[in-house]
Structure 1
């Protein structure tokens, strides 16, 4: 790696550093709140913006729109990374937080699909694009801004507040939904109350802008500006600077790929799993995730501080390896605690489907394709959280514990009738599809599993902001770290709920979607081991490779 002349950087005061961390972290919480509130309310938005009979398809369409925002994050990273390296860190993330707040509030103003038809989801997609563009510039700006104010020996700890703030955005989104639930009757919340969390973004935007306008420009950027070392074209130089191609590759697959798939599995997959196939009461799920998330936020700070001593690579490697070992057992435990009756019934009265052409097509209704009779049965079983095996046969049969369950002909033309009929029949065999209210002991077990998943996320995420800032030269740092981070977070992580959902819908195994996370993390471990040096943290100019 070429040596980089270190600009004469002004040392910020302790008071200034505290303001920087506080304002940057608060803004990050608000901006990620804006992005995550869509996913937190996915179970309601599928009915508000998508007019489909198939429950699984409705949720997949919501996750598809969720993924659209992530798809545009890399474009935002290029655009705002360029501006951040050319015009400054402060004003760039003032623009991103403004765009995010306006776009999020806009979702709360869109008429439902029942009112304006297909125009409703089109507008949602447009606003998700704006959110994705804005978020592509937010994380890099906030992380770099804090890192460039921090002394090297505390960089991991100080930037870990930004990492914790991402989880904080998720926690805040749940807190707001909980508050709305307690203040707005359930039917009213489903009808119109879900709009309130989106409209709240206007207030959060005002607070964030007020706090960030108090900040001065990054001392590193000020020094580069005074010395005339600002990059001519940060985007191009990110790929032409000596050694940077390798560093971008490592940042994408060895860092962002690992952290983002673990993060979304820990937070969003667990939420969907509890609400969906485990049938846990929505309010209970939100309360559990709120308190678990609140505790998990502290884990990021501990790991960030630890990385200042042991280096950035070790925590990430430990977390990634533990994920490969513990991911499936963690979700098996989650299922056992959340709905023990469902698991017990599946063991005592195993479900077997006999038939031909027993494959499911999750998007059949959307594209007007015919779903086979067997595929319709499998689809209903999967959406109900029922594990099954398939045996080839000329005639379609559904059995529970060896006993045949009669299939009413009307079930194959009416999805709701099929769902209600199959669930009613299986309920007589011990399966419980009612809304679950786990016992106190089981709730403690669920929280323990979520804390374990949160620790895996903290190990692979807590030190990342410091690591990415240290990997790239100051003149192109905003662009160089934002591009791989948001490609990894946007495509590998942002598409995770959709990809995992399709895998589950296609295989019928409620745990099969976890293989996507497992595969991305396994590849990431190899890249991380190869591309990130061991040892204590080092500034860019002191590192090699």
Structure 2
């Protein structure tokens, strides 16, 4: 690389890393933030709603792609970069200032989702500009290698957010004592084993610090962006008067270009997206909320896998300059579809052997199936009060694999754990003291039966679950095995994501390139990928199998392999991107 080429990549990548850092802070802290902003909702759906607030930033990303993509094709890449970083930076800073539900009521979660949407709009315009800017500076035979540095920014932004969280979490929790959790009446909330439920200082207020600190990253990013020059390809096109006067209409209003966007979405980015989010975000969510590894340890393991696997972006980007983009991207999707089930099984067995062993005990819910609801409650308005819903929600909280069979028990539903049968209760038919007593009796009976079956009910009583005491505490067989499994998932991410920027740039002509590639990329990653954690969690909770949610990623990845094999063109790495 020449010094000018290095400057282009550094300027584009550094600003984009900070923008991804801002965006992914929420994803890394989704469960903690959910407890602060969604306390009025049923506990069984709090994680789903928190993840949907995370996904709100993804849902609007395609709209950001349309707005800023058109801006980038009309007025240039540099000024679009400045607009996106300002919106992202201030939205992130305001999340750190926003009072919780206890202070502002329902306004708090609504404002939170609005700020997430603003972040999504900004990111919708960011990626396409960075990919186009670098590709238009790169030598023809090194576009995959040059743009692969942009591909590292998402992972490096996530890694930066995890490192900052770990440092702040360690400092805050090390210097402030945990606080008892109180219910609406001011009484202490108890765990299933009768001990007081405590909330750590970081979970209570320390999580705000990484958001507030983003204002300093915004200042650095603005400085970097102001040093950038406009893309030479854009300047040349502007001087020649060859700009598109209506880039959105030209990119998507004709079948000639519209079909390219459709092929890019279904044959490339949809599969790439589900592999990307399964390997990083859903893996982190799965470790914390399903396998029951504490959040600090989970972040340590994922951070190490990112450190070890991130070089794969550069490797596969460079490899795609020699053998093409298509076989690498589709190969990663195929490997993911084939291996996800055994890999996530191995992750559970390695990280929490006691939980994995306990899941071999048959657990059956017998009930009138017509009384069972689909326990996906994004608005928090549904009331899960039937005996069936109560039984299934109680088991889901303990990561129990169970089956549901038709029957008509006198209680409406009953749970059989090993040889123990526990009748459920109908919350809609009870109130006051009767409801409190029924709930307490039921939860205690379930907890005792699960404990007898080997289920670890609290982290303190489970000596087999993996735990890292500090960032470098990974050098045991169990912890290294977890890092290896997670690194494999990251390498699949690098296969599908490393070459994708160059591939998308090569599919679209220069005059509509920013708009053309941004929309399919952000529909794929914003909708197919961003909604994956919430969708997978809901599927698993409904089916009674903690692995069932993986079917979403597997089916989408497999469809992309088929569609991409048939319709995505070969040999784009040899294309002259300035000839059209």
Instruction: State the alpha-carbon separation in 1 of the partners of residues 387 and 425 from structure 2.
Output: 12
CA contact (8 A) 1:359 1:506 kept: no
SS of the residue corresponding to residue 207 of structure 1 reads: helix
CA contact (8 A) 1:427 1:433 kept: yes
Give 1:201's match in structure 2, choosing from 209, 214, 221: 214
Instruction: State the alpha-carbon separation in 2 of the partners of residues 276 and 526 from structure 1.
Output: 33
* 1:253-292 correspondence to structure 2 within 5 Å: 253-292=266-305
Instruction: State the alpha-carbon separation in 2 of the partners of residues 129 and 59 from structure 1.
Output: 19
CA contact (8 A) 1:275 1:285 kept: yes
For the pair 1:433 / 2:457, whether they are aligned, the reply is yes
For the pair 1:458 / 2:494, whether they are aligned, the reply is yes
For the pair 1:369 / 2:383, whether they are aligned, the reply is yes
Instruction: State the alpha-carbon separation in 1 of the partners of residues 454 and 151 from structure 2.
Output: 44
* Pairwise CA distance, 1:537: 0.9
Q: 1:542–1:142: structure 2 CA closer, same or farther, 3 Å change rule? A: closer
SS of the residue corresponding to residue 243 of structure 1 reads: helix
* Pairwise CA distance, 1:242: 6.8
CA contact (8 A) 1:360 1:371 kept: no
* Pairwise CA distance, 1:26: 1.2
* Pairwise CA distance, 1:513: 0.7
For the pair 1:487 / 2:523, whether they are aligned, the reply is yes
State the match for 1:399 in structure 2.
Answer: 416
Instruction: State the alpha-carbon separation in 1 of the partners of residues 207 and 95 from structure 2.
Output: 10
Instruction: State the alpha-carbon separation in 2 of the partners of residues 102 and 253 from structure 1.
Output: 34
For the pair 1:77 / 2:65, whether they are aligned, the reply is yes
Per-residue CA distance 1:146-178 (angstroms, 9 max, x = gap):
111110111101100111111111111111110
Per-residue CA distance 1:306-342 (angstroms, 9 max, x = gap):
0010011110121111111111111111111111111
For the pair 1:42 / 2:30, whether they are aligned, the reply is yes
* Pairwise CA distance, 1:448: 1.4
Moved more, 398-407 or 408-417: 408-417
SS of the residue corresponding to residue 405 of structure 2 reads: strand
For the pair 1:111 / 2:135, whether they are aligned, the reply is no
SS of the residue corresponding to residue 290 of structure 2 reads: coil
Give 1:353's match in structure 2, choosing from 349, 358, 365: 365
Using the size of structure 2 for normalisation, the TM-score is 0.87
SS of the residue corresponding to residue 305 of structure 2 reads: helix
Moved more, 359-368 or 439-448: 359-368
State the match for 1:167 in structure 2.
Answer: 155
Per-residue CA distance 1:5-26 (angstroms, 9 max, x = gap):
xxxxxxxx81111111112111
Q: How many pairs were matched up?
A: 531
Q: 1:538–1:405: structure 2 CA closer, same or farther, 3 Å change rule? A: same
SS of the residue corresponding to residue 390 of structure 1 reads: strand
SS of the residue corresponding to residue 500 of structure 1 reads: helix
Q: 1:116–1:415: structure 2 CA closer, same or farther, 3 Å change rule? A: farther
* 1:467-478 correspondence to structure 2 within 5 Å: 467-478=503-514
Moved more, 444-453 or 76-85: 444-453
Q: 1:338–1:415: structure 2 CA closer, same or farther, 3 Å change rule? A: farther
State the match for 1:390 in structure 2.
Answer: 404
For the pair 1:153 / 2:141, whether they are aligned, the reply is yes
Instruction: State the alpha-carbon separation in 2 of the partners of residues 421 and 115 from structure 1.
Output: 36
SS of the residue corresponding to residue 276 of structure 1 reads: helix
Structure 1 unaligned runs (5+)?
A: 1-12
CA contact (8 A) 2:132 2:505 kept: yes
Q: 1:429–1:104: structure 2 CA closer, same or farther, 3 Å change rule? A: same
CA contact (8 A) 1:380 1:419 kept: yes
Q: 1:415–1:232: structure 2 CA closer, same or farther, 3 Å change rule? A: farther
Per-residue CA distance 1:493-521 (angstroms, 9 max, x = gap):
11111111221121121111111111111
Q: 1:528–1:217: structure 2 CA closer, same or farther, 3 Å change rule? A: same
* Pairwise CA distance, 1:405: 4.2
CA contact (8 A) 1:412 1:418 kept: no
State the match for 2:192 in structure 1.
Answer: none
Per-residue CA distance 1:461-505 (angstroms, 9 max, x = gap):
100100111111111100000011111111111111111122112
CA contact (8 A) 1:470 1:538 kept: no
Instruction: State the alpha-carbon separation in 1 of the partners of residues 63 and 438 from structure 2.
Output: 42
Moved more, 127-136 or 51-60: 51-60
Q: 1:274–1:208: structure 2 CA closer, same or farther, 3 Å change rule? A: same
State the match for 2:111 in structure 1.
Answer: 123
Structure 2 unaligned runs (5+)?
A: 179-199, 427-433, 468-475
Instruction: State the alpha-carbon separation in 2 of the partners of residues 470 and 418 from structure 1.
Output: 60
* 1:178-193 correspondence to structure 2 within 5 Å: 178-185=166-173, 187-193=200-206
Q: 1:54–1:419: structure 2 CA closer, same or farther, 3 Å change rule? A: farther
Q: 1:223–1:43: structure 2 CA closer, same or farther, 3 Å change rule? A: same
Instruction: State the alpha-carbon separation in 1 of the partners of residues 550 and 511 from structure 2.
Output: 39
* Pairwise CA distance, 1:241: 5.8
Instruction: State the alpha-carbon separation in 2 of the partners of residues 419 and 209 from structure 1.
Output: 53
* Pairwise CA distance, 1:419: 5.1
Instruction: State the alpha-carbon separation in 2 of the partners of residues 371 and 160 from structure 1.
Output: 51
* Pairwise CA distance, 1:535: 3.4
* 1:231-380 correspondence to structure 2 within 5 Å: 231-240=244-253, 243-347=256-360, 349-357=361-369, 359-363=372-376, 366-380=380-394
SS of the residue corresponding to residue 438 of structure 1 reads: coil
CA contact (8 A) 1:411 1:418 kept: no
* Pairwise CA distance, 1:33: 1.0
- Give the RMSD, CA atoms, in angstroms: 2.2
